[in-house]
Chain A
């Protein structure tokens, strides 16, 4: 279904196009790269407006892999549009901010940065709008890869490399798990289309009833939890803070980490009723929320604080999805994107100005950076949940969802724990917000910051730097004020993932427990802030215990060591070793198969009884010739006994009445005898002794195991009762009749070769031609290799 009016494809494609232009552009593009990406983001943002304005749901789709039922399907429902607007809007602001922030001496490096940023933006837009599980997965993986490039932007720094690698490992692991989950979903429901599944109650019921449902659910959740840095995968986010600050603001506050909770919202209609959904999400979400808030208060690095609070806020959203609060999830996502984006960008301005991000070295910047101060104050107030900002509205709705949840009401103990954890983490966030704003901007300006102030960057354009955080923080304030009226409620309802009824987002909530809880958390938070030194001292005393990121690194290192040990042991480059392993696999598999099926050599009932005298004769001669070949001490003896074997095999073909292969064997054996004798002239004599006695014994054992296994298998195949006689060829109308009637030849073997299996024969001729060409080519090569390699070590010398 192609709709000419749909702008969804250009919306997703434009950032990728910009990435190509910027990435492949020459020096002429130079410093304009940031503006190109800014323009692309703005264009994507505007191209979403028609989709938002239409009354129906805008779609775009064309068959991608029709045979597999996979289509390139985009669908702009309210929830997807919300994320798409956030991605393109904040993307434009971040590109603008970057033009002032990322000033590299090397334009090529700058171009790489913008190309990765733009690709990331396109992939995030794809995630927001994808309506096909596989398409969603593809975009998901692109965000993992581009985020790896962006986090590792300062790749000269070891920390940057390690942080980027860890983010990639964790998110790619989750992405792979998620893809398996998607495949399971598609296997049960028979479609990859998200909207087709979620709009069909029968399909959802089928999915929930399937025994694969718990596995699919957990795998998809693994994808969401790793992406959103939820416990126990929370550790990669602080490590990713080595990224340039605009990247942190964009990826790790506003968009990429949102992909995880976005996935929860997308899959809630499928899995929401599954028995595992609520407990898993509530437990993981609550743990992440509390842990994030606790760790945030402990940090002193600005960006680390923000990373921890992000994990905490995402934990809160995960908890809400666990409770099924899909009516106002868009409020939480939007709120977090606005204030956290603003705070990160302020952190970037502060770092740019003061050359440090450590709270203990900052202070008194309110005069130097007044706009950043206001933006930071607004963002912090929103994070803490003070009125009249949007954060207050969001926090109130959060407590309302918590206290009105029927599921939680059924488990009083868990309800108490979750409620206490929520109050504690809200209070900790309030205290952290206070620490952040007052720590950086109030008090006396520190000597350290003052001394280096404005030396390097005094003449740089400041407008792009402060525009972005000002807009974001202003948005948090304006939407908060707008919730006095109906505007915010309308917006939240229109963009919720699965609105059951109209959302209530208001600055003036009714008196009740949610409001009391919200206010109590504020008071508690202020109290914590005033006693912050005591709290910090307590946290220091409690510090210790295993660090999750160290455990992960340990696990990765163990994996690498395991892989290396495996390679050294099994992939050691010795041909003999590979051959022995391959050959020994057959007897090993047979022993296993025999024990599984109950077959044994005792069932063999073949005897010598019906063997004619010439059968004995030929087989005995064959055995003698084989032994003679193996034991031959000279090349000539080996060649002659090999030829003897060939002719004896031909005689056995006579016994089995196969004139065609008899003739072929005779011809080929003659030709190859001549060829062998011809080549042997140029080759050295056999060494008197080429193996140690021990090696000889081992080889003999391997050979015997293989030969005995083959013999037993063959005899079992010949035993009547085990073999089921087939007469596909010899029944009337079978291959033999077919050869005469349709092939028109009396010799069935010939007819099959040239007619029924003609393609095989063509392949055989091709092999001969290729071998002929290869032999010719090999013989024409000069001896250059020997001269080139002279002086280098050999395998045995190196060993």
Chain B
């Protein structure tokens, strides 16, 4: 079971990274979702399970050896909820950004304006840090 799962997780990570590098906010949010799912699967995959182990329902405190480790699913449970929350926040930000700036490309957003007048921008910037 491990080999196909590891390959699928690797593909999920690769797809997620490819998506967050694209100049499109929605694709970045989707990439974030892919990476979240990949991380959750990874936790479970390297949690030391075998297909023979049973779900962690305990009826006798002395008969626990055949059961699964309950910690990885615990952490994943928290992670699922939190990644949903963060994803929802990202989506909202996408919406607000598009509403206010009419673009979904983060590189096209206006530059922050330097408040400090004495700030001198770099002389030969690859990309200017502040609006001049």
Contacts and interface: CB of A to CB of B under 8 A. Distances in A.
A188 B14 CA distance: 50
A682 B98 contact: yes
B54 A657 contact: yes
Nearest to A570: B126
A635 interface: yes
Given A606-B3, A615-B1, A714-B10, A735 B70 contact: yes
Contact of B81 (A653, A668, A700, A740): A668
A746 B132 CA distance: 64
Contacts of B14: 703-704, 706-708
Given A684-B98, A711-B9, A775-B89, A795 B125 contact: no
Given A626-B15, A665-B80, A771-B89, A571 B9 contact: no
B32 to A, nearest CB: 11
Contacts of A795: 107-111, 127
A793 B33 CA distance: 32
B17 A703 contact: yes
A764 B93 CA distance: 21
A616 B3 CA distance: 10
Q: Which of B11, B62, B94 has the most CB of A within 10 A?
A: B11
A699 B18 contact: yes
Contacts of A635: 26
Contacts of B101: 785-786, 789
Contact size range, A: 35 or more
A630 B49 CA distance: 30
A739 interface: yes
Contacts of B88: 672, 675, 771, 775
Contacts, number: 340
Contact of A606 (B6, B10, B87): B6
B104 A731 contact: no
A795 B101 CA distance: 12
Interface string A699-739: 11011101110110011011000010111111111111101
B119 interface: no
B26 A638 contact: yes
A575 interface: yes
A653 B37 CA distance: 11
A771 B87 CA distance: 10
A749 B73 contact: yes
Contacts of B60: 740
Contacts of A707: 10-15, 17
A411 interface: no
Contacts of B27: 638, 686, 690
A54 interface: no
Interface residues of B, number: 102
B42 to A, nearest CB: 6
A778 B65 CA distance: 50
Interface in B59-102: 59-62, 64-65, 67-71, 73-74, 76-78, 80-82, 84-89, 91-96, 98-102
Nearest to A639: B30
B13 A729 contact: no
Interface string A646-682: 1001001101111111001100100110011001101
Nearest to B103: A794
A768 to B, nearest CB: 5
B110 A794 contact: yes
A112 B64 CA distance: 74
B76 A661 contact: yes
By DSSP majority rule, is chain B's interface helix, strand, loop, or mixed?
A: helix
Nearest to B53: A657
B57 A778 contact: no
Nearest to B106: A575
B26 A680 contact: yes
A672 to B, nearest CB: 5
Interface stretch (A68-76, A250-258, A537-545, A753-761): A753-761
Taking chain A's interface residues, is the majority helix, strand, or loop, or is none over half, making it mixed? helix
Nearest to A659: B55
Interface in A320-377: none
B78 to A, nearest CB: 5
Given A682-B98, A710-B13, A775-B89, A572 B5 contact: no
A620 B3 CA distance: 12
A710 B62 CA distance: 37
Nearest to A649: B37
Given A568-B122, A703-B17, A752-B74, A623 B7 contact: yes
Contacts of B44: 652-653, 656, 658, 661
A746 B41 CA distance: 25
Among the interface residues B23, B30, B58, which one has the most CB atoms of the partner chain A within 10 A?
B58
B131 interface: yes
B2 interface: yes
A503 B10 CA distance: 79
A665 B11 CA distance: 20
A774 interface: yes
Given A691-B22, A764-B78, A729 B70 contact: yes
Contacts of B24: 686-687, 690
Contacts of A717: 46
A788 to B, nearest CB: 9
Contacts of B76: 658, 661
Contact of A684 (B7, B53, B104, B125): B104
Contacts of A642: 30, 33-34
A761 B78 contact: yes
A607 B131 contact: no
Contacts of A553: none
A5 interface: no
A795 B86 CA distance: 26
B98 A706 contact: no
Interface string A193-204: 000000000000
B127 A646 contact: no
Nearest to B49: A656
Interface in A552-578: 564, 567-569, 571-576
A579 B41 CA distance: 22
B64 A626 contact: no
A642 B48 CA distance: 27
28 contacts: A568-B122, A573-B129, A576-B23, A583-B21, A622-B8, A630-B18, A652-B5, A657-B54, A664-B80, A672-B33, A672-B84, A675-B88, A679-B92, A679-B94, A686-B24, A686-B27, A690-B22, A703-B17, A711-B7, A714-B42, A715-B3, A718-B6, A735-B70, A736-B70, A746-B58, A793-B131, A795-B110, A799-B127
Given A576-B21, A615-B4, A792-B131, 4 more contacts: A564-B122, A660-B77, A690-B105, A729-B69
Complex A-B, nearest 3 residue pairs according to Cβ-Cβ distance, in ascending order: A707-B14, A711-B10, A703-B18
Interface of A: 564, 567-569, 571-576, 579-580, 583, 606-608, 610-612, 615-616, 619-620, 622-623, 626-627, 629-630, 635, 638, 642, 645-646, 649, 652-653, 655-661, 664-665, 668, 671-672, 675-676, 679-680, 682-684, 686-687, 690-691, 699-700, 702-704, 706-708, 710-711, 714-715, 717-718, 723, 725-737, 739-741, 746-749, 752-753, 757, 760-761, 764, 767-768, 771, 774-775, 778-779, 781, 783, 785-786, 789, 792-796, 798-799
